[in-house]
Amino acid sequence: MPRREKVEESNGAEPELHDEEDAISGNSSLEEKLTELPGVGSATAAKLVEHGYKTYESIAVANATELAGITGLPQTLSQKIINSARAELKFTIKTAYELEQEMKDIKRITTGSKNLDKLLGGGVETKSATEFFGEYGAGKTQIAFQLSVNAQLPVEKGGLEGTSFYVDTEGTFVPARVRGIAEASSLDPEKALQNVFWIRALNSDHQIAILEGAKDFIQEHNVKLVVIDSVTSFFRSEYPGRENLAPRQQKLNIHLHSLIRLAEIYNLAVVVTNQVMATPDMFYGDPTRAVGGNVLGHAPNNRIYLRKSKGQKRIARLVDSSYLEPGEAVFEITGQGIRDPPE
């Protein structure tokens, strides 16, 4: 039986343990499916599956050098295989009308604050990456917690009825706070915590590897939100100084683009955080000038600069968006989570 059907049947529950025979027949049916791609024979299919390339999606986002290394095929043929996987998934030339239809699939997760949702065109959207950047204590992690819970909400309440995948690079994940946010959202807190998958990344290579290896997991567990808090911290510490700037940016850029592809393929929201230092002229000048504010360049589709205001109030400014109106929104970090300030 094809693995996919099995996953749909299990309906987001914990993956079942298969006995060995089952696992083998599962693999062989995956291989069979891959051999439907022109250029993929059974030996190549076996190598691909062995290295974790089990789906058309995973091949579509691979690069030719990587595949050539694994399969021993020439690079040109590897590229053809990648192209045909992309064609199968309809990553091809399309009309603007078709594109418009596809954009109707974009869904949004509420942030908990109507003001902030409005700034974002209704919430954090799927099929793209959203960056929250700002200084320490600006509320980046709190927003990430809130979204991890909200992704689980029913659609009519601003959720996507999915799970969240949280990559923690700084060790600042607080389950008790997530529980509190879930309780305040009238979700069963135990279930809500079960639906947030957390992993601590050890360094930038591990961070990249986690995301590269998460494709099957994402599909099997109906993941609708991927958080990386923070996406930049390892890159900053591992590539210090001007002399490392170019390799750091290159690596980060590839990472971000593969995150965006992940968002597009699985119709999920990617949220990344990025700590920056406030500059003294921040309140008068352009907030993108905050130190480190341009580290991610134009890769994320939407970028929101957060700054502290009075007490628990925070101001969010949409800095970079290809289609949303620039503007600001005020929200609050409360005991219940992210909310609008009282009128």
| Cα(168)–Cα(189) distance, integer angstroms | 20
Q: Which residues contact 43 (CB under 8 A, 6 or more apart)?
A: none
Angstrom distances, CA of residue 225 to CA of 150, 187, 270, 271, 307: 9, 17, 6, 7, 24
Site for ligand GTP in 288-327 (CB under 6 A): 312
Which member of 118, 177, 179, 261 binds ligand GTP (CB under 6 A)? 177
Kindly determine how many residues on this chain lie close enough to bind Mg ion according to the rule CB under 5 A.
Answer: 3
Which member of 111, 113, 126, 142 binds ligand GTP (CB under 6 A)? 142
What residue 54 binds from ligand GTP, Mg ion, none (CB within 5 to 8 A, per partner kind)?
none
| Phi–psi pair at 306, nearest 5 degrees | -110, 135
Site for ligand GTP in 217-256 (CB under 6 A): none
Contact by Cβ (8 Å): 154, 107: no
Does the protein bind Mg ion through residue 169 (CB under 5 A)? no
Does the protein bind Mg ion through residue 142 (CB under 5 A)? no
At residue 40, the 3 state secondary structure works out as: coil
Question: What token pair was written down for 337?
Answer: 């989570």
Contact segment (CB under 6 A) with ligand GTP among 11-19, 155-163, 250-258, 328-336 equals 328-336
Least CB distance from residue 276 to ligand GTP, whole Å?
9
| Cα(257)–Cα(299) distance, integer angstroms | 7
What residue 139 binds from Mg ion, ligand GTP, none (CB within 5 to 8 A, per partner kind)?
ligand GTP
Does the protein bind ligand GTP through residue 287 (CB under 6 A)? no
| Cα(147)–Cα(142) distance, integer angstroms | 9
| Cα(150)–Cα(159) distance, integer angstroms | 5
Residue 63 or 172 with smaller CB distance to Mg ion: 172
What residue 136 binds from ligand GTP, Mg ion, none (CB within 5 to 8 A, per partner kind)?
ligand GTP
Question: What token pair was written down for 103?
Answer: 């954009």
**AA letter at 189:** P
In this structure, the strands spanning 108-109 and 124-125 are antiparallel
Does the protein bind Mg ion through residue 233 (CB under 5 A)? no
Which member of 115, 141, 219, 301 binds ligand GTP (CB under 6 A)? 141
Least CB distance from residue 142 to ligand GTP, whole Å?
4
Contact segment (CB under 5 A) with Mg ion among 8-16, 98-106, 132-140, 316-324 equals 132-140
Residue 141 or 232 with smaller CB distance to Mg ion: 141
- Helix 42-50, helix 20-35: angle, nearest 10: 120
- The contact set with ligand GTP (CB under 6 A) reads 134, 136-142, 172, 177, 275, 312, 333-335
